[in-house]
Amino acid sequence: MAALYRARGRSRQAVPLDRDSAGRYLPLLVAIMVYLAVLAVAGALMMTKLAERWDSGLAGALTVQIPPAADTAAGEATLEAVVAALAATPGVRSAEPLDRQAMSALLEPWLGDALLGGDLPLPRLVAVTIDTAAPPDIAALQARLETLAPGVLVDDHQRWLARLLDLARAVELMALVVVLLVVLAASIMVAFVTRMGLAAHQRSIELLHLIGAQDAYVARQFQNHALGFGLRGGLLGLAAALPTLYLARLLLQRIDSGLLPELSFRPHEWACFVLLPVAAALVTMLTARVTVLRTLARLP
Sites of contact with other proteins (CB under 8 A)? 3-8, 11-12, 14, 16, 19, 203-204, 207-215, 217, 296-297, 300
Q: Which is nearer to other proteins, 65 or 204 (CB)?
A: 204
Nearest approach, Cβ of 16 to other proteins (angstroms)?
4
Nearest approach, Cβ of 251 to other proteins (angstroms)?
50
Q: Which is nearer to other proteins, 2 or 134 (CB)?
A: 2
Q: Which is nearer to other proteins, 208 or 241 (CB)?
A: 208
Nearest approach, Cβ of 221 to other proteins (angstroms)?
11
Q: Which is nearer to other proteins, 6 or 268 (CB)?
A: 6
Distance CA 99, CA 119 (A): 15
CA distances from 75 to 133, 244, 261 (A): 33, 53, 38
CA distances from 126 to 32, 109, 129, 155 (A): 51, 20, 10, 10
- DSSP letter string, 122-190: --EEEEEEE-SSS---HHHHHHHHHHHSTT-EEE-SHHHHHHHHHHHHHHHHHHHHHHHHHHHHHHHHH
Nearest approach, Cβ of 283 to other proteins (angstroms)?
26
Q: With contact defined as beta carbons under 8 Å apart, do 151 and 93 qualify?
A: no
Q: Which is nearer to other proteins, 34 or 208 (CB)?
A: 208
Nearest approach, Cβ of 12 to other proteins (angstroms)?
6
